[in-house]
Amino acid sequence: PMPPLRLALHQGLCPTGLWKAPRASHHSDEIRAAMRLGFNGVRCHQAVFEPAFFEAADRLGFLAIAEYPDWVGRPSQRCGPAYSQWRDRLLS
């Protein structure tokens, strides 16, 4: 049987680069810290996370649910950058 899900909300913020990891081991370290706290996954909140985050999660057996940014109506200047990131991820 599957263990119960114990998920945390992950904003994806890094101490030195906002959304860019400061070093290669950052994602693995962060995931291991969450696992020590009893979490077995995260919901990646309203951002386009680095592929390295998902690769680290896969290696460590940690569930990562991606939630891409959303908006109401047509893409506008306000959501243009998020829309571009979302489109690029889906088409890559």
Question: Would you give the distance in Å from CA 52 to the centre of its chain?
Answer: 10
64, 54 contact by CB (below 8 A): yes
Q: What are phi and psi of 44, to 5 degrees?
A: -80, 110
Q: Tell me, what's the pLDDT at 31?
A: 96
Tens digits of per-residue pLDDT, 59-91?
999 999 987 666 666 655 656 666 677 677 777
- Cβ 33 vs Cβ 55: under 8 Å: no
pLDDT digits (tens, 9 = 90+) for 21-48: 888 899 999 999 999 999 999 999 877 7
Residue of higher predicted confidence among 73 and 7: 7
| pLDDT of the residue at 12 | 83
Residue of 53, 51, 26 whose CA lies nearest to 42: 53
Mean pLDDT of the chain: 83
